[in-house]
Every structure is written in structure tokens, then in C-alpha cells.
Amino acid sequence: MRSECCELWRFLCFGIFGEPQSGYFPARFVLSFLLFWAMVLEYAHRVCLSVTIVAMVNQSAFDLPNSTLDTDDTCGLPDNVNATSPEEQGDYIWSPSIQGVILGAYFYGYVCTQAVGGRLSEMAGGKWPLGLSILLASLLTLVTPVAADIGVLAIIFLRLVMGLVHGICLPTAFAMFALWAPLEERSTLISLCVMGDHVGTILSMPLAGYLCENGFSGGWPSVYYILGILGCVWFIFWTCLAYSTPSDHPRISKRELEYIGRGNIQMNIDQKLPIPWQDIMSSLPVWTLTFCIFTSSWGFTTLLTKLPTYLEVVLHIPIQKNGLVNSLIYVCACITLFITGYASDYLRTKKHYSATKVRKSFQLFGMMGPAMCMALIPLMGCNKGMVILLLTAAMGFQGFAGGGYMSITADMAPHHSATLFGIVNGIGCTAGIFSPMVAGLLLEEAHSSIHQWGIVFYISSGLYVVGGIAFLLFASAERQPWAYVPVTDDFSNTKYIKIKQDLENSSKYGTLS
């Protein structure tokens, strides 16, 4: 029986991820598993406010039955729903515009530490920057109910600081994968890691919806207590099992160490390579990627932060079902994210398509698909089934980024991938500041108007289209001229010579990664 289980495990693991390790559980899978749960916690900490704010705010205080915008195109309450249902009676009087500021405050901090986190992980290793980031965010999550009671400024400040510490996470994960992920598995492992973002949404939204009605300490505060404690527990496992580089790992097998190194570009972590800032800032592919992330993040953040409110105040879906519907929508994104990440690896390594063609093809679906779906949502009116179907399809198309821009910084500049990702993602994620704010202003006087919500969706749809066209025309996944490591007579160290040899050998993959 034991041998049958071992064979099943080997089939499940190595049917996708390469050659077996003689029964040894691969260290890179342990790290990937921990990074996956780090992303789950990061997004759970981030998005739980989008659900709990529905229960925290007294929504009925903003019902304006005499508003000309609200009278013609709102969805009436179902016959079995009382207009003064408990979920509308929160403790805080926060207007839609104030809610937009609170939800956007996270991104004020988040965009500031992306490049810092990437560079820090390249210089000092990723274990402690990422681990301490999740720990601090967990502690901030625990005290969120206290901040809400203190006042608007307190919770805005707390969310800003949480964004600051979370901004380190994803660039650090990318830096660790640059050292840990074999070339044949890079997009797949990165997609699995990023999939943790969606799983965090999938798990936290129904949990938050349930606890808002049935939790302890008054309902919604229990969401923050549970997620904060889970983050502290994760930190214990991370401290014991994670290592910054494969060579630091005391239990990694020699065979796996060789497998990770084969085909990968070996980096000299003792000699810190300078960042070609001028070349990066004047690179058209870099700015194209930044613009693509900005436009994609605008639509994604609009859904992430405002979707629970849309389902509650427009479609009148109760908060407990609201969280469940939200989670189901993100399940589709998880599936496509993993499939497209694996498919892009397959096309590159087995079919020898160029990285640029693969990235552009997948990303075009990842931009035009959500654009079409979000443009159709306002036309569905109060048809809950069709609206939910279109939202699900939009998130499914969003998952095509797993084979698109997600791994492109490692293609363009593997030695500087974490710093580069921090720069482009930091600038691109400024959309998270503005999209909730713009939505809040548009909905200030008509928070349940389908017409006003339609404007919010049309803006996102238009940005998706513009970003997709720009990516198709100007993006590149080829190694950039400024991304090669200079090898001169001054660099006689054998580690640098090994870099030059690996650069030459890796050309067989079509692009260097």
C-alpha cells in the first residue's frame, strides 16, 4: 500500500514538474508551497476589508430615494428581503467616497516598497524580508477593529502601513524563484505562487461573509482576529522550512540542486551587480509592461474592492452569499492562471516558440476578454445570473496573465528580475489608489444606480483595451541589451565566467531566461 501511494505521489508531482528525485520530497516544492500560502495570506489580509466594510458601514444612511439618478435604474429589493435587513445596519457612517479612500489607502503604501523589496531580496536574500512582511501584516490585521473604532484616519493609516509591508512580498517571491525555479518550471511555479492571490480571495471572502453574520466579537471583527492568527502560525513554518537559496538548504538533495542549476543562469550572490537605472527607465518594453500592469490592475482592483458592494447594494445579494459568489468568481481565475502558466512553459520548451510570441498571445486574451465582459455587465441590468456569469468570465480571462506578463521580467532581465518587477509593479499598481477613489466619487450621489456603476465598468473596459493594444505592439520578452552581465578582464572570477557560459548555452531556448 505504501509503495502504491508513493507511486501516485510521484506521478502527481513529477508528471508536471520534471524528473523524480528518488523518493525525496523536493525542497523547491516545499518553498513553493510556503510562498503559495504567503500569497494567500497577503490577499486575505488585503481583501477582507472589501467584504467586511459592507457590514461595518450603515448602508441605509446613504439611501436616497428621491435622487433622480437612483429612481430610474436601481434594482428593487426582492419580496422576501426587508429594506432594513441587519446587513445594512453597520456602526460606521462612511460615505462611498470615504470608503473609496479607505480601500485605496492600502495601495499608497503598496506601491512605495515594491522596488525596495525587490532590491533588498536580491542583496540580502528573500527569507527574512518576506517572512517579516507577513508577520507584521498579520499583527496589523489583528488590531484593525481597534483602528476602526478610533476613527477614519486611524484605519486609513493602518491600511497604508499594511500596504507598505505587503509591497515587499511579491517582488521577494520573484527573486527567490529566480534562484529556485528550474527554467522548465519557471512560469508554472510562478503561476502557482500568484494563484495564491486568488485562493486568498476565494477563501477569505466566504469566510468573511459567514463571520460577519455568525462570528464572535460582534461578527466582522472575528474576521481580522482569525486571519491575523493564521499569519502568525504561517511565520513559524516559514522560519523553520524556508531558505533564501538552494545552496543554503541543509536538506536539499544533490540531484535536485543539480536539476535546479541545469539550464538556469547562475548568479553570483556574493558580488552585487549594479542596476542599470538609466537603461531601465528609457526602455520602451519596460514602460509598455508598466502600462499594461496599470490598465490590468485598474480593472482587477475595481472588482477586488468594489464587487462586494456592487453585489450588496445593487443586486441585493445578502452578505453571506455575497462572499460565496465573490469566491466562486475567483475560482475561474485560479484555474486559468495555472493552466496558462503551464501552457506557456510547454510552448516555450517543447514547441520552441519565442517567449515574446507566447507572452503577447496569452496577454491579449488576458486583456480583451475582461474588457468585453465588463462592457456587457451594465447591459444585463438586474439579471443576477448573467452578471455573475460575466464577472466569472472576466476573472477567468484575467488568469491568462499567467502565461503573459507575470514572468516577463525574468525573461527580460533575470539578474535584475526582482528589482525590475518591483519597479513596474509598483508604478502599475498605482491604479489601486485611483480606481476605488474614482468609483467612490462616481457613486457618491447614486451608490445603487446601474447607470453610475456602468460608468465604472466602462472605464475599466476601455483601459483593458488600450493596455492590450499597447502590449501587443510594443512589449518584448527578449533579453534586453542592458540585461547582460558584463564579462571583462576585470571579472576573472570563475563564477562570472560561468555566467557567460550559461548565457551562451541558454540560447537554445529561443530566449534567455
Could you report the per-residue pLDDT of 85-124, keeping only the tens digit for each?
444 457 788 887 888 889 888 888 888 888 787 778 777 7
Q: Which residues contact 494 (CB under 8 A, 6 or more apart)?
A: none
Least confident span in 59-68, 192-201, 249-258: 59-68
Return the closest-CA partner of residue 235 out of 59, 41, 94.
Answer: 41
Query: In this structure, what DSSP letter does residue 92 have?
Result: B
Neighbours of 384 (CB within 10 A): 17
More confident residue, 513 or 253: 253
For the ranges 185-199, 377-391, 430-444, which has the lowest average pLDDT?
185-199
Average pLDDT over residues 475-483: 86
Q: Which residue has the cell 506601491?
A: 111
Q: What is the mean pLDDT of residues 361-376?
A: 92
Q: Are 56 and 151 in contact (CB under 8 A)?
A: no
C-beta of residue 362 within 8 angstroms of C-beta of residue 337: no
pLDDT for residue 144 is more than 60: yes
pLDDT single digits (tens) 314-331: 888 876 676 677 777 778
pLDDT range class, residue 461, cuts 50, 70, 90: very high
5 pLDDT more than 60: no
What pLDDT, on the 0 to 100 scale, is given for residue 60?
Answer: 64
Alpha carbon distances (Å) from 122 to 21, 34, 117, 415: 28, 19, 9, 9
Question: Which carries the bigger pLDDT value, residue 286 or residue 335?
Answer: 286
Rounded percentage of the chain residues whose pLDDT exceeds 90: 24
Average pLDDT (24-37) is 87
- How far apart are the C-alpha atoms of 72 and 84, rounded to whole Å? 21
Confidence (pLDDT) at 219 = 86
pLDDT at 463 > cutoff 90: yes
* 422 to 15, 123, 195, 429, 431: CA distances (angstroms): 32, 14, 18, 10, 15
Mean pLDDT, to the nearest integer, of 284-296?
Answer: 93
pLDDT tens, 219-267? 899 999 999 999 999 999 999 999 988 888 888 888 888 887 775 554 4
Residue 508 has pLDDT above 80, yes or no: no
Question: What is the residue-wise DSSP string for 38-78?
Answer: HHHHHHHHHHHHHHHHHHHB-GGGG--TT-HHHHHSPPPPP
Quote the DSSP letter at residue 136. H
Q: Which residue has the higher pLDDT, 129 or 62?
A: 129
Q: What is the pLDDT of residue 311?
A: 82
- What is the structure's pLDDT at 73? 61
**pLDDT for 502 beyond 90:** no
Question: Which pLDDT belongs to residue 1?
Answer: 46
* Average pLDDT of the chain, as a whole number: 78
pLDDT at 485: 63
Beta bridge partner(s), residue 58: none
Q: Which residue has the higher pLDDT, 338 or 468?
A: 468
Q: Who has greater pLDDT, 463 or 404?
A: 463
pLDDT of the residue at 87: 45
Neighbours of 288 (CB within 10 A): 21
Render pLDDT for 200-228 as a digit per residue (tens, 0 to 9). Answer: 888 888 888 889 888 888 889 999 999 99
Predicted confidence (pLDDT) at residue 45 exceeds the cutoff of 90: yes
Q: What are phi and psi of 21, to 5 degrees?
A: -120, 40
